[in-house]
Structure 1
């Protein structure tokens, strides 16, 4: 049973959810084999997903809802209620962004194909409490990424892992180490890795700046949408440019 399914069975929220929220959403949405009963609050979703994706926030969940990637049920008072199936959709979107740098439009197309049954994605069972620690030291990062300590050191020197705390690096750093491992194995080196990180940081600053005007007006969802749109576009341009330049 997934943590979401476990939480929905034991959360005890069902009696307090208005009738509208208890109505089952469309059964055609993926993953079809999981419960679509909207028994989970935003805080429940964060608790279940943040161990794997520590940067997930309520604003990010609103962003996914605004783009119709994950559509929770709304209670009469306007609160979002999620089902175990919704939680798995959140994980799918975040994995697509983290592991494959997939643009939102393409993620939406994949979800539509999953809904229609023309694309298939395994939903692995998750046991409650099997999420890893929030922070890892350098040796643990190397082990989790299936690589050598020198790759982690290259990531540290390149500034790819962010700030190191007394508890270590945030567990999401495994994603960066895996990416660096693949880059170095494909022929990259520490110098060009540093250049890539600097370029990505500049694009991140531009993306943040794109959302600043809306943020100043108190439109946090709009600010996030602007930043995400520019970041997605930058990723697509970079990937296209690299592929084009690498052709013989």
Structure 2
């Protein structure tokens, strides 16, 4: 990588293990700008532990590379802090879970949530389920994060309420989050623009296809939003 010398050494019988330079070459296509210093930083934080040769060179096994890729994907796609990533790796080491593509994890979670029985709540029940008080619920309605005078609130409303409540612990209150309502409405408009011609057709096949397409586009917009936020995050490490 530019600005840093990457040392390698001849093969020493550990054919399956790679030098840090070879690891960088393997990761570069998916993580442009990855550097030796970044990998060493992750090693210093105890997230990967490559073997060392007698002369001190690092040697990375296939498992080490898979582990690095997993960590980098969690940082890039879910912008998780190292503490949380370390906990996930501890579960991996304990055999509680297996390596999974983070995008697959998200998709599986969404599929499970979609398949779960749909519940509805009154406003009071919503507050009890989310463990929030009525003043916060009123504030969420004031800034458009929850709809007022709704006959029944669903699990999406519950998720919104819980997340907003968690954000208040970080000093982010509903008045700070109202832009998310406007952004969500604009994204819904984009979906409707894309599937509108298909949805207007009378046949059931077209309408079913429109519903499926709307879901696909919504997921793409969510991934776009996540990628833009993750790519703009400052580095505090």
Q: Could you say which TM-score interval applies, normalised by the shorter chain? A: 0.3 to 0.5
- The one of the two structures with greater contact order (alpha-carbon pairs below 8 A, sep at least 6) is 1
Q: Under a length normalisation based on structure 1, what TM-score does the superposition of the two structures give?
A: 0.43
Which structure: larger Rg? 2
Q: Under a length normalisation based on structure 2, what TM-score does the superposition of the two structures give?
A: 0.45
